[in-house]
Amino acid sequence: MAYYIGIDGGGTKTEAAIYGANAEWLLPPLVGGPTNPYANGRENALSELIGLLDRIHGHPGLAGADCAGVCLGIAGIATPEERSWLTASLQQYQQQRGRAFPAAIRSEMEISLMAALDRPVGIVAISGTGSITAGYTEDGRTFRAGGWGHLLGDEGSGYRIGLLTLQAAMRSHDRVYPPTAITEAVKRKLSLSEITGLKSYIYQADISKRDIAAFAELCIEACAAGDAIASEILRGQATELADTTAALMRQEPAFGSADVVTIGSIFRHGRLFRAQYLRRLSGLFPHLRFHEPTRSPAEGAALLARDMFSPHPPIV
């Protein structure tokens, strides 16, 4: 029996999907620590990846089976140098463990497209802690827009929404904005007696991008309850991300009638955000087809591994 491994690596966790030749689950999903080398450091990220691979290969449920291929989509692995480092690390791992299996490195966008469309062709927009858009053509060309990080970009991201949420609380305190439910929500989350205590929290040295992005949830909840300020934040950020996607699409005529996959926690939980994104983008490009993934990115990676490395790849 052969098995195929798909790995979706991020800055907080890494998920692995293990498929058989017919895309059937052979094991439940396995989860490990962060493998983004910029979030966890290269040494720690590699250690997490090796530990996850060892757990898979040594699992009793795969006894007597052979690994026929691995596809990895790991955040922070994009440049030729980064890919070369990961490739060399995987080769060294195989030598040390006495294993041999083919491996391919793909972007998190490609494995997400595969998870939604069964092929890595189309446009993907990601809105999680950060944001990015990318497009992939039938002939293998790649286009990207956004993805410049929280200081240079991240429009429509959890970080940007979280930051605007905190700023809105202070703007409301200063009576620039009208009263907003955001203020009490922030106070409850941080156990503050006064919203002015937010200043002491936010300027702590160890406050991270992820900490700030967590406040996007409060914005989404306030919006769902009818708060005008929260709704405006989400509409504005969805519009900005749609405009970034539109800029990408203008680079390739075929994208005008492409499949668009929206993924990430903000799309998933922010109903108004997703609706505004679709409204804005379909107003500019009326022939688009929008999708949400029905599988996890790790499953998309496992499907890619099977399609690339199976001796009898499926006809699609």
- Hey, what are 306's tokens? 């099977």
Distances in Å between the Cα of 220 and the Cα atoms of 176, 202, 228, 267 are: 21, 20, 11, 11
Q: What are 6-30's pLDDT values in tens digits?
A: 999 987 789 999 999 887 888 899 9
Residues 6 or more apart in contact with residue 132 via CB below 8 angstroms: 109, 125, 126, 144, 145, 146, 147
What DSSP character marks residue 25? B
Q: What is the pLDDT of residue 169?
A: 98
In CATH, 2-106+295-309 is 1.10.3720.10: no
Q: What is the pLDDT of residues 69-78, one digit of tens each?
A: 999 999 888 8
Three-class secondary structure of residue 131 per DSSP: strand
Residues of the chain with CATH 3.30.420.40: 2-106+295-309, 124-285
Packing angle of the helix pair 158-173, 216-224 (nearest 10 deg) = 70
Give residue 39's pLDDT. Answer: 75
CA angle 218, 224, 227 (to 5 degrees): 75
Q: What is the pLDDT of residue 316?
A: 39
Mean pLDDT over 32-47 rounds to 88
Q: Which pLDDT does position 38 carry in this prediction?
A: 83
High-pLDDT (> 70) share of the chain, %: 98
Q: In the block, which residue shows the tokens 């203020």?
A: 183
Instruction: Please compute the mean of the pLDDT values over residues 127-156 and round it to a whole number.
Output: 90
pLDDT surpasses 60 at 313: no
Is-contact 313 307, C-beta < 8 A?
A: yes
CATH number for the domain formed by residue range(s) 124-285: 3.30.420.40
Nearest in space to 49 (alpha carbons), one of 24, 80, 70: 70
**What is the reported pLDDT for 110?**
92
pLDDT at 4 (0 to 100): 95
More confident residue, 313 or 209: 209
pLDDT recorded at residue 22: 82
pLDDT digits (tens, 9 = 90+) for 168-181: 999 999 999 999 99
What is the residue whose two structure tokens read 């405006």?
232
Residue 274 CB-half CA count within 13 A: 18
Question: Average model confidence (pLDDT) for the chain?
Answer: 92
Average pLDDT over residues 155-163: 95
- pLDDT class of 315 with cuts at 50, 70, 90: very low
Structural element, H or E, at residue 262: strand 259-263
Instruction: For residue 274, give both structure tokens.
Output: 């997703």
Backbone angles phi, psi at 25, to 5 degrees: -70, 130
Reduced to 3 states (helix: H, G, I; strand: E, B; else coil), residue 91 is: helix
Mean pLDDT, residues 28-47: 89
pLDDT at 312 over 60: no
Span 93-122, average pLDDT: 92
Span 251-304, pLDDT tens digits: 999 999 999 999 889 999 999 999 999 999 999 999 999 998 889 999 999 999
- Residue 66 φ/ψ region, left for φ over 0, alpha for ψ in the -120 to 50 degree band, beta for the rest: beta
Task: Measure the CA–CA gap between 239 and 245, rounded to whole angstroms.
Answer: 10
Confidence of residue 145 (pLDDT cuts 50, 70, 90): very high
Residue 199 to residue 188: CA distance in whole angstroms:
15
